[in-house]
């Protein structure tokens, strides 16, 4: 590639920015994405019929658990008791379930890996059905919780009609949000689900800054604590950028080709293995998976029922177990298990941090196994007559790539886990409680989604530029 082509592949400066926005189809994609985002933000401010939107803010105890995290992801929709209170959460949870099921169910695995585009569409349809079921279940729990909150009451006219209508409205809006995420991915720029989460977090930043300023003014949070927290956030942002951009370069030898009596070696190439191939998806999956049981436990606590105590009383009523359950060591063991399990879903406890870290590691390896098919890469290299420098083709190449990728994923996922849990305890140590959720999950989502979206915009612009120069065929022709 000559110097002029290299200069043409870069985008920078006002003139290049104007050319990028003028690229074929890119401006329309950006405008479409902004239009969908505007619709989403309007829906966040539409309250659920039959509720007092301001009453929920008079119960600050609800924001002390992971319900506050859910409100952060929905951009304040839950705090406003909006029709979009479910947000994109049911869809993310359904995606996690289907991804896990595709590993253990042969039929789903066949659809994902060997059935092509038709199989992926069928799997996506199953995800949508699961999203509807989860949305109905979560909407019903939220409606039930709202009817039980008193002093002051949230629901103006409680009853069966409110339960049914609220469940239908919240479920339908959750499906509508799922649709908006899918159309952004298909017709806009960036990943739709990630962008909606990004938007929800970003919209809460001004409120967090205002609350932090008021906390410093009233003496609830020390100035030194805020300064330390900001410094930690800046360091973590730099680490996140390094993780998102970091790759391991693997040298690939060119294939030998015989032309008559002469032997020509194709030019060498490289494979770039990312340090963090899962991007923001591992942390989104882990946080979403933690939200679901935490929400159930929060609703149970607000209803005045301890799920572990209720289970223990149920076991005590079983014949033959009553005498055994009265043993002191059994009661102590059950109490210990109940406390530790509750702490796993409580934001500031170390048990929650350990579980969160392990889930991030699991989803990082799981997601990488889907997006980076090591065996397919090794087989393609063997068929093309190329090989990794110092590694034999075939199975040794596959083992080398798996070993290298496993090390990279462990390093990247461990760094992501530290980024996720460190600010939680820094907030607690610095007595700054007004940024709950920002440092742990939201920071890496904000930076990661911003980088991924910028990368996709640049890819669209470069592709359109190359098509205009005749280097690539147009999108409606096969390459």
How large a percentage of the chain has pLDDT more than 70? Answer: 72
Please report the pLDDT score of residue 164 as a whole number: 92
Mean pLDDT score of the chain = 75
Report pLDDT for 179.
92
Spatial CA neighbour of 82 closest among 36, 44, 51? 44
Q: Is 475 or 104 the better-scoring residue by pLDDT?
A: 104
pLDDT in tens, 272-293: 888 888 777 787 778 777 776 7
Beta bridge partners of 63: none
User: Scanning the structure block, which residue is given the tokens 């405008």?
Assistant: 31
H runs (alpha helix) in 75-159? 89-104, 106-113, 116-148
Residue 471 confidence class, pLDDT cut points 50, 70, 90: very low
Banded model confidence at residue 315, pLDDT cuts 50, 70, 90: low
pLDDT at 171: 93
At 172, the pLDDT band (50, 70, 90 cuts) reads very high
Residue 86, pLDDT > 90, answer: no
Report the distance separating Cα 466 and Cα 8, nearest Å: 9
Say what the pLDDT of residue 66 is.
45
pLDDT of residue 4: 40
Confidence of residue 298 (pLDDT cuts 50, 70, 90): low
**pLDDT score at 303:** 55
Assess whether pLDDT exceeds 90 at residue 169. Answer: yes
Q: Is 69 exposed, middle or buried (0-12, 13-18, 19+ CB in 10 A)?
A: buried
- Give the 3-state secondary structure of residue 428: helix
Where in the chain are the domains? 1-220+449-479
Q: Where are the alpha helices (DSSP H) in 307-349?
A: 307-316, 322-325, 328-344
CA distances from 94 to 11, 74, 153, 284, 320 (A): 38, 17, 32, 12, 40
pLDDT band at 147 (very low <50, low <70, confident <90, very high): confident
SS3 assignment, position 471: coil
Is the pLDDT at 306 greater than 50? The verdict is: yes
| DSSP of 37-85 | HHHHHHHHTSBPTTB-TTTGGG-GGGGGSTHHHHHHHTTTTTTTTBTTT
In the prediction, which pLDDT does 129 show? 92
168 has pLDDT over 90: yes
Residues 6+ apart with CB under 8 A from 225: 430, 431, 432
Homologous superfamily, domain 1-220+449-479: SecY subunit domain (1.10.3370.10)
Q: Between residues 298 and 271, which one has the greater pLDDT? A: 271
Single pTM value for the model: 0.67
Distant-in-sequence contacts of 287-291, Cβ < 8 A, 24+ apart: 287/69, 287/356, 287/440, 287/441, 288/89, 288/92, 288/93, 288/96, 289/93, 289/96, 289/359, 290/66, 290/345, 290/352, 290/355, 290/356, 290/359, 291/66, 291/69, 291/70, 291/73, 291/89, 291/93
High-pLDDT (> 90) share of the chain, %: 6
The candidate with the shortest Cα–Cα distance to 207, out of 72, 82, 89, 86, is: 72
Q: What local confidence, expressed as pLDDT, does residue 202 receive?
A: 80
pLDDT in tens, 188-230: 887 888 888 888 778 777 877 888 888 888 888 888 888 888 8
- Does 479 have pLDDT greater than 60? no
Phi-psi region of 87 (alpha: psi -120 to 50; beta: other; left: phi over 0): left
Strand partners, 155: 51
State whether residue 277 is helix, strand or coil: coil
**94 versus 470: which is more confidently predicted?**
94
Q: Which two tokens stand for residue 240?
A: 């996140």
pLDDT for 204: 76
């Amino acid at each position: 590639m000559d110097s002029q082509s290299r200069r043409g592949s870069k985008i920078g400066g006002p003139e290049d920015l104007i050319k990028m926005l003028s690229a074929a189809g890119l401006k329309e994609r950006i405008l479409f994405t902004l239009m969908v985002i505007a619709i989403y933000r309007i829906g966040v401010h539409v309250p659920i019929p039959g509720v007092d939107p301001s009453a929920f803010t008079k119960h600050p105890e609800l924001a002390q658990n992971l319900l506050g995290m859910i409100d952060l992801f929905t951009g304040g929709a839950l705090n406003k008791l909006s029709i979009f209170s479910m947000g994109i959460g049911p869809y993310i949870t359904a995606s996690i379930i289907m991804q896990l099921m595709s590993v253990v169910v042969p039929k789903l695995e066949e659809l994902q890996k060997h059935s092509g585009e038709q199989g992926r569409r069928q799997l996506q349809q199953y995800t949508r059905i699961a999203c509807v079921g989860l949305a109905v279940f979560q909407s019903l729990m939220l409606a039930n919780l709202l009817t039980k909150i008193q002093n002051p009451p949230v629901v103006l006219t409680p009853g069966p009609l409110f339960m049914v209508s609220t469940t239908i409205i919240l479920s339908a809006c959750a499906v509508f949000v799922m649709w908006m995420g899918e159309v952004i991915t298909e017709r806009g720029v960036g990943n739709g689900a990630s962008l909606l989460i990004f938007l929800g977090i970003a919209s809460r930043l001004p409120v967090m800054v205002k609350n932090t300023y008021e906390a410093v003014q009233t003496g609830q949070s020390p100035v030194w604590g805020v300064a330390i927290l900001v410094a930690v956030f800046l360091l973590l942002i730099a680490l996140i950028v390094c993780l998102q951009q970091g790759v391991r370069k693997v040298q690939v030898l060119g294939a030998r080709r015989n032309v008559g009596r002469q032997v020509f070696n194709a030019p060498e190439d490289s494979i770039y293995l990312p340090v963090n191939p899962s991007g923001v998806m591992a942390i989104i999956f882990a946080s979403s998976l933690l939200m679901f049981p935490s929400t159930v436990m929060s609703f149970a606590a607000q209803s005045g029922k301890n799920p572990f105590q209720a289970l223990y009383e149920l076991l005590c009523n079983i014949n033959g177990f009553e005498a055994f359950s009265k043993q002191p060591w059994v009661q102590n063991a059950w109490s210990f298990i109940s406390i530790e399990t509750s702490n796993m879903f409580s934001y500031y406890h170390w048990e929650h941090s350990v579980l969160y870290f392990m889930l991030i590691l699991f989803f990082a390896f799981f997601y990488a196994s889907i997006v980076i098919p090591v065996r397919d890469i090794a087989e393609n290299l063997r068929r093309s007559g190329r090989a990794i420098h110092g590694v034999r083709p075939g199975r040794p190449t596959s083992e080398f790539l798996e070993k290298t990728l496993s090390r990279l994923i462990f390093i990247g996922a461990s760094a992501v886990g530290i980024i996720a849990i460190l600010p939680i305890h820094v907030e607690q140590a610095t007595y700054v409680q007004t940024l709950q959720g920002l440092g742990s999950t939201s920071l890496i989502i904000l930076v990661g989604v911003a980088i991924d979206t910028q990368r996709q915009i640049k890819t669209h612009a470069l592709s359109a530029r190359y098509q205009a120069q005749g280097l690539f065929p147009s999108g409606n022709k096969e390459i």
